[in-house]
Amino acid sequence: MDGPPTIEDFEEVGFNPFTAAKELGGERELTDPFTELARLRAINPVYVGDLKANFGLPTDLTQVEQRQVWILGYKEARQVLLDPVNYSAEAYRSSVGIYFGPRAISIMDDPEHGKVRKVLQHVFGPRAIARWNEKMIPRTIHGLIDQFEGKGAVDLVDAFTLRFPFHFIHELMDLPDEHRDIFHKLAFGQLMITFDEKHGMEAVGKIRDYVTALIAWRRAHPQPHDFITELATTEVQGETLEEEVIISFFRQLMNAGGETSYNGFSNLMVALLTHPEQWALLLTDRSLVPAAIDEALRWEPPVCQALRTPVNPVEIAGVEIRPGDLIGFSLSAINRDPDMIERPDDFDIRRGTRKHAAFSMGSHICIGQHLARIEMAAALNALLDRLPRLRLDPDHPRPEISGFMLRGPEKIRVRFD
């Protein structure tokens, strides 16, 4: 290769995976899954069948061959997710294994999972996060606010919440400016294999080829503090990451890091602005910021699904489950289980608890959870500092959070002065 790799857009250049995901996936109208999930959970915390079909949504194309069993209760979720010996992450093979690659850490079981996770945790450790939070994260956040602070009214999603997590990852990966929008489109487009195989597989192929070439180029042209090179060369207790694991990680980073922070922070802002008394609480007591973030993650988790399969036949809540069956976890239902928390449908930042499953649980808990919390805290504090009179714009419809697997609002129209 004579120069840095180039990236190819979708052949159908105007194709927008972000809007197509909710339009073709049928999830745009699903604003309240909680009432039905509560009804099902009251019957049995384990639901047998296609949960998406129960909501009138098309079947996930990666799951049509498997018997599905969905966990809706917090106690039952802990029973499975905290037991990696008897429940395997191989359940992700037909989905994550395709759109992020067969060597994605999400699919691995121990002992391999533990070895790979140690290396990734070293790269995402406190020292690295502190370094990013010193300059890169604040620069990204305040640079975006600078662009709209003087306007008085804006769509907060388009101007801010959609942008800062992805801008940070673009900076972290040091992607050329001209590649960033296409990289974002393709990274998200990989998820579309669940309902649009043609565009999904096109995105899978193009993002795989680009990331593979990008890693090879950076290794041949190393730069100081280059995150891609650092990940490729980091060694922990004699363990380094194999090439396919690194490629899979970067194919997943935009979705696991960007989408989680984007939807998570968007949901937090919807929660606070539709409960203005709680925005006012934060203005007077910044110590509540971490609690507000965790309450929003519990109340409206941005990623609402996890998967496992049993290693041996098991029975949960009277339901027999066999190896090869797909155990799905509805995090939306689990996080609002009244056996876990009182008044589960209320948004209340004074709860002061991290008791939720928004980042999953157990050995596979999200590697980037600490980074996500720091990003969200930095963004929230910046808005509180610079736009204390932020409020919903009464001339526009109130924002609505929608979706099944990924939940977030399309717009948050606000005013400020």
Q: What is the pLDDT of residues 60-77, one digit of tens each?
A: 888 888 999 999 999 999
Higher pLDDT, 191 or 393: 393
Distance CA 294, CA 350 (A): 11
275 pLDDT exceeds 80? yes
- Give Cβ neighbours of residue 237 (< 8 Å, ≥ 6 apart): 118
Q: What is the pLDDT of residues 305-342, one digit of tens each?
A: 999 999 999 999 999 999 999 999 999 999 999 999 99
Mean pLDDT calculated for residue range 68-90: 97
Amino acid 4: pLDDT: 84
Indicate the CATH number of 23-415 among 3.40.50.80, 1.10.630.10, 3.40.50.2020, 2.60.60.20: 1.10.630.10
- Range 49-56, long-range pairs (CB < 8 A, 24+ positions): 51/328, 51/330, 52/404, 55/30, 55/404, 56/26
pLDDT bucket at 304, cuts 50 / 70 / 90: very high
Which residues make Cβ contacts (< 8 Å) with residue 341, sequence separation at least 6? 298, 351, 353, 355
Please give the pLDDT value at position 200. Answer: 92
Higher pLDDT, 47 or 235: 47
Residue with the bigger pLDDT between 123 and 288: it is 288
pLDDT at 413: 98
Place 229 in a pLDDT band, splitting at 50, 70 and 90. Answer: confident
Q: How far is CA 55 from CA 206, 209, 411, in A?
A: 33, 36, 23
| Domain spans of the chain, in order of start | 23-415
* Whether residue 54 has pLDDT greater than 60: yes
Residues 123-148: tens digit of each pLDDT: 888 888 888 999 999 999 999 999 99
The burial of 113, by beta-carbon neighbours within 10 Å (0-12 exposed, 13-18 middle, 19 or more buried), is given as: middle
Q: How confident is the model at residue 192 (pLDDT cuts 50, 70, 90)?
A: confident
- C-alpha 276 chain-centroid distance: 26
C-beta neighbour count of 23 within 10 angstroms: 11
Residue 353 pLDDT more than 90? no
pLDDT confidence band for 1 (50 / 70 / 90): low
Q: What percent of the chain has pLDDT over 90?
A: 68
If you average pLDDT over residues 91-119, what whole number do you get? 93
Is the pTM above the cut of 0.85? yes
